[in-house]
Homo-oligomer: A and B are copies of this chain.
Amino acid sequence: MANQLKYDRILDALQELLENRKLQSISVSEIAHTAGIGKGSIYYYFPSKDAILEALVERSYEKPLRTAKALSSQTEIPPFTRMAMIFQACRNSSSEFVRSGESEGSGAQEKAYLHQKYINHIITELKPVLAEIIRQGIAAGDIRFNDAEALAEIVLIVLTVKTDDTLAPASREQNERTIRALISLLEKGTENPPGSLNFLMS
């Protein structure tokens, strides 16, 4: 408990290495060396290499998740505005470490693990918050739909999968078209005027 520093230094080291290397090629000793500590110490703070990654994903989303949770109770701000704020917060911190150097070919495949963790975490944590805001929007008459939870899930799934680019690789332009199509579906589905959901675009 005293030395929160080293715990964080390990995370910093992994984050730094992840910026232009794929996970599989990063060894634990290397993380230790980058963090300026012995390899054994890594295992004092983490039970496995995997756990380091998990902790890093969690830490990276701490901030936006906190703001998202805070926003869910700010009922004086209109629902759509709050959603826009949440997505903006996520975008700011997401690109921080998930995107990495080209590493075409098999490299793209080998980052799968990292991306899966990240998507899983985002969807699980953000869904209830987003659902709550949608629910408020429904109650206020801004949104017409009968299942806030499900709607939140659909939006999050499509957005994260498309933002991520590992699961459904496509051109930047195709990605934009898909998100635009989602927006159009949502606007018709929730009986909102065209353009009102444009904030979902990056």
Question: Which A residues are closer than 8 A to B by beta carbons?
Answer: 50, 106, 109, 112-113, 115-117, 119-120, 123-124, 127, 145-147, 149-151, 153-154, 156-158, 161-162, 166-170, 174, 177-178, 180-182, 184-186, 188-189
Contact = CB atoms under 8 A, between A and B. Distances in A.
B117 A116 contact: no
Nearest to A123: B168
Contact of A167 (B120, B151, B178): B120
Number of copies: 2
Given A50-B106, A177-B149, A185-B186, A124 B168 contact: yes
Contacts of A150: 174, 177-178, 180-182
A183 B190 CA distance: 13
B120 A181 contact: no
Nearest to A184: B189
Contact of A182 (B154, B166, B170): B154
